């Protein structure tokens, strides 16, 4: 696969850790996104953690996506090597809400990952820290599971979550306007927001310009071990409600794959990632 970043130093860091954190948006661009979030004022906030694509309002989903991708476009072109933006969303953690946790997961596969690299781009609109639910990741975890991933929030290693949190996850205190740019395979989560301020972030997904977007579909009401695979345009993820099956008049079904994931245990994790920080007496 070809490089993600124009800068060879960033590329080496990405290959090693699965992500980088860089200065990305200027203060006026951050303010522009905050104004968009405030003016649209339609984030579904019934739960402590929400994403704009949870909304049933298609116009809201589209306005959010267009605003984020347009704002990100200049910096993406500056740092990434001919990558295209697919779509964007806002995420929100309500203040002083234990329910604002976002549990451990990998992001969905939006491309054929045997040929292309799906990338997650995450930009907080305020400084993040331990109190307000900063992003936490595992360096090198893009190597842990190559299985296909649908849009369902299904993490196959729940029994290993306590071990991973205690030994491998690390917090990224990312500033407003900085970007986490990582493989969509990286294991990540964010704890609850116990601050007095709503924590909003803008996200987008992207891949190589020459890639074709996909949907690995499972019925969220009755998921089976078979995923339908569709080729489609990014509009599908914005124009239709979350977890909708693609319309075959607009999307091309190219086959089915069996849902599977790499078998992991503590020993295999140590073999792939190396000695944990706890075992090496380093701060986690």
Q: What CATH number corresponds to the domain at position 244? A: 2.60.120.620
Domain total of the chain: 1
Classify residue 145: in a domain, yes or no.
yes
> What is the structure's pLDDT at 282?
59
The confidence score (pLDDT) of residue 281 equals: 59
Could you write out the DSSP letters of every residue in 253-277? EEEEEE-------HHHHHHHH-S-T
Contact between 186 and 137 (Cβ < 8 Å): yes
pLDDT, position 227 = 95
Give the integer Cα–Cα distance in Å for 103 and 106: 10
pLDDT of residue 271: 97
129 Cβ contact list (under 8 Å, min separation 6) = 173
Return the H-helix or E-strand segment holding 72: helix 58-79
- Output the pLDDT for position 277: 67
Examine residue 283 and state whether it is found in any structural domain, yes or no: no
Measured CA to CA, the distance from residue 135 to residue 15 in angstroms comes to: 20
Look at residue 259 and tell me if it is in a domain.
yes
Q: What pLDDT is stored for residue 140 in this prediction? A: 98
Query: Residue 61, Cβ neighbours under 10 Å: how many?
Result: 26
Q: Is residue 21 part of a domain?
A: yes
Domain membership flag for residue 126: yes
**Residue 39 burial by Cβ neighbours in a 10 Å radius (0-12, 13-18, 19+):** exposed
List the domain range (segments joined by +) for residue 216. 8-273
Structural domain includes residue 281: no
In a domain, 282, yes or no: no
Please identify every stretch of the chain with a pLDDT value under 50, giving residue numbers as ranges. none
Q: What is the pLDDT at residue 45? A: 84
Q: Is 225 part of any domain?
A: yes
Helix (H, G, I), strand (E, B) or coil at 50: strand
Residue 105: phi and psi, rounded to 5, are: -165, 170
């Amino acid at each position: 696969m070809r490089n993600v970043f124009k800068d060879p130093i960033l590329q080496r860091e990405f290959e090693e850790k699965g992500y980088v954190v860089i200065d990305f948006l200027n203060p006026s661009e951050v303010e522009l996104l905050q104004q968009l979030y405030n003016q649209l004022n339609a984030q579904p906030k019934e739960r402590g953690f929400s994403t704009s694509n949870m909304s049933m309002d298609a116009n809201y989903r589209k306005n959010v996506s267009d605003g984020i991708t347009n704002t990100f476009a200049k910096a993406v072109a500056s740092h990434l090597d001919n990558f295209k933006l697919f779509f964007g969303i806002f995420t929100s953690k309500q203040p002083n809400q234990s329910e604002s946790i976002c549990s451990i997961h990998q992001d969905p596969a939006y491309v054929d990952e045997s040929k292309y690299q799906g990338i997650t781009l995450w930009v907080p609109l305020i400084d993040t820290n331990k109190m307000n639910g900063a992003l936490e990741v595992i360096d090198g975890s893009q190597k842990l599971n190559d299985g296909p991933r649908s849009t369902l929030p299904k993490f196959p290693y729940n029994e290993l979550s306590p071990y991973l949190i205690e030994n491998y996850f690390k917090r990224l205190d990312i500033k407003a306007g900085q970007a986490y740019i990582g493989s969509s395979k990286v294991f990540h989560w964010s704890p609850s927001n116990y601050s007095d301020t709503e924590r909003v972030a803008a996200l987008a997904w992207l891949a190589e310009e020459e890639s074709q977007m996909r949907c690995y579909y499972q019925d969220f009401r009755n998921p089976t071990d078979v995923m339908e695979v569709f080729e489609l345009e990014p509009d599908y993820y914005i124009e239709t409600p979350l977890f909708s099956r693609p319309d075959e008049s607009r999307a091309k079904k190219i086959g089915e794959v069996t849902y599977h994931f790499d078998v992991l245990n503590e020993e295999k994790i140590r073999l792939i990632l190396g000695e944990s920080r706890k075992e090496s007496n380093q701060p986690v």
